Amino acid sequence: MQPNESNRSIADQTPAPIHHNWLYRRVALPVFALLRMGATPEKLAWSIATGFLIGINPILGSTTILCLALAFIFRLNVAASQLGNHIVYPLELILVIPFINVASRLFHTAPMPLSANELLHAAREHPFELSRRLWLWEWHAFLLWAAIAVVAIPIIALAITPVLRLLLGRVRAHKYPVIPAI
């Protein structure tokens, strides 16, 4: 059976199902939801930027609590700051050692031994001294991160505010999806 002109037009009008990628479902859709609930692009930008920078701080295991604390202190959107925090989690793991290395140079402390044998030897021979040094390396890395964060948060917030304003316009006009289906 040959499709006639009327069958073709009906088939052309039926949209194909949209299958969004992980990034769209886990990042864009929550941002859309926050915008629909009345969050301003400016507040979301500051919240996300704060989450990004807190998410890469070199003290492992502190990001969620630090993010919550700063969100409450500065009246940021908690969900958006946690979203930013969790997006950059892999970067936190990647950047811990570079933060410690750069901070040890800046603060003129002994570099952290990176070999497992050296760390095990120090742990067996001088465990309290190793604990003190680990704390010192982490503290110096945290100070370096804090200095970077104070400068980077406003820059990131100002950079993503126009994007969030664009998304707010799309949310108000009900134009979804923003990212085309592949």
How far apart are the C-alpha atoms of 98 and 96, rounded to whole Å?
6
- Kindly report whether the global pTM for this prediction surpasses the value 0.85: no
Amino acid letter, 116: A
Residue 21 is predicted with a pLDDT of: 78
Residue 143 is predicted with a pLDDT of: 96
User: Which residues have a Cβ under 8 Å from the Cβ of 143 and sit 6 or more positions away?
Assistant: 103, 107
Residue 57 is predicted with a pLDDT of: 94
Per-residue pLDDT reduced to its tens digit, 108-152: 988 887 777 887 888 888 889 888 988 999 999 999 999 999 999
